[in-house]
Amino acid sequence: MLSISNLHATVADKPILKGLSLTINAGEIHAIMGPNGAGKSTLGYTLAGRPGYQVTAGGAQFDGQDLLALDAHERAAAGLFLGFQYPVEIPGVSNVQFLRESLNAQRKLRGEPPLSGADFLKVARAQADAMGMDLDMLKRPVNVGFSGGEKKRNEMVQMGILNPKLALLDETDSGLDIDALRIVGEGINRIMRKPDKAVLLITHYQRLLDYVQPDFVHVLADGKIVRSGGPELALELERDGYKDLAA
């Protein structure tokens, strides 16, 4: 589904990704861990097409397309979703409006008819319910005044509504209380654990992986994948930290 080869990227002329390769097949769940500042979020932004994240070498194929040739919104329509480490507030724009316009913009690009207001609300309600989010919050402006945990939960509601093929989830577990962690974990499984979908979880802790069992775990350090393994690698890292990995 996603194959990244030798990806180099700079931010503000500073090299951050330095030859990163990674392949994710449909049906797989991958986790990426790594020290602060290693470039995990940068990887997510670069793949999602954030302006200012310059690819200087290497490439990425998504579903047989040259991912890097697409604009950010085209990547979204192609089925790529980024759960933000720091979800953004948009005053004055309700969640409902934001998501409905977003979904319909995606559908338009895919040549699908728009969803009516009523049909959209049905979908939105179901997803909010499943994520234990109050309906009132759907009507509130996007992330404005949401607590840290509520913002993360909202990211998952959005993922449920947009129903992507590939989700890059950047520290979706940070800031969640114990119950919310479980709900989010179950949500990821419910929405994304399907034979035709895939997930890349960026996380610092094993606790999310208790709910969302990864097929592969990778360590990203200094802009590269320095080690890959199975679920046991996460446990090992939790025990030993990253110090032995400094290459």
Ligand X SMILES: Nc1ncnc2c1ncn2[C@@H]1O[C@H](COP(=O)(O)OP(=O)(O)OP(=O)(O)O)[C@@H](O)[C@H]1O
Interacting residues with Mg ion (CB under 5 A):
40-41, 85
- Compute the least distance from the CB of residue 136 to ligand X, in Å: 31
- Quick one: which of 26, 70, 109, 115 contacts other proteins (CB under 8 A)? 109
159 binds, among Mg ion, other proteins, ligand X, none (CB under 5 to 8 A by kind): none
How crowded is the C-beta side of 49, counted as CA atoms within 13 Å? 16
User: Is there binding between residue 121 and other proteins (CB under 8 A)?
Assistant: no
Q: How many CB atoms lie within 10 A of CB 147?
A: 11
Helix axes 95-109, 117-130, angle to 10 degrees: 110
User: Is there binding between residue 48 and other proteins (CB under 8 A)?
Assistant: yes
Total length of the chain: 247
- Quick one: which of 2, 17, 24, 77 contacts other proteins (CB under 8 A)? 77
Task: Give how far Cα 34 sits from Cα of 10, 37, 141, 227, Å.
Answer: 19, 8, 33, 10
99 binds, among other proteins, Mg ion, ligand X, none (CB under 5 to 8 A by kind): other proteins
- Quick one: which of 24, 29, 42, 87 contacts ligand X (CB under 6 A)? 42
Tokens coding 188: 């990821």
Positions 147 through 166 that interact with other proteins (CB under 8 A): 158, 162
Q: Which is nearer to Mg ion, 32 or 68 (CB)?
A: 32
User: Is there binding between residue 88 and ligand X (CB under 6 A)?
Assistant: no
- Compute the least distance from the CB of residue 235 to other proteins, in Å: 32
Task: Report the interface residues with other proteins, using CB under 8 A.
Answer: 45, 48-52, 71-73, 75-77, 81-82, 84, 87-93, 97-99, 101-103, 105-106, 109, 141, 158, 162
